Amino acid sequence: MIGAARAVAADAVSYLVTAWCTLCIRSPEAAPSPRAEKPSLRSEIRLAYTWRHPLVGPLVTTNAITSTALAGTNPIWIVYLIVPA
């Protein structure tokens, strides 16, 4: 085993290598094209696209259902953790 201190040091070194590699990227970014008019927030969000997309729609729906179920079950955990058996 390498030990906890060496593992943390290796993790820090990996972050430094990642930062160095990111700084070495020298790709120029194209300037965005100017818009004729400022779109509304509703058109920017485009929920219709999200729901109709074959991959994104089911993922968003599943995430919404799972988050709602977890938010409903979290208060029950308090009862089980506080009340002694």
How far apart (Å, rounded) are the C-alpha atoms in residues 76 and 56?
A: 31
Residues of the chain with pLDDT under 70: 1, 84-85
Query: So what's the pLDDT on residue 84?
Result: 67
For the stretch 6-15, pLDDT in tens is: 999 999 999 9
Query: So what's the pLDDT on residue 19?
Result: 96
Query: So what's the pLDDT on residue 55?
Result: 92
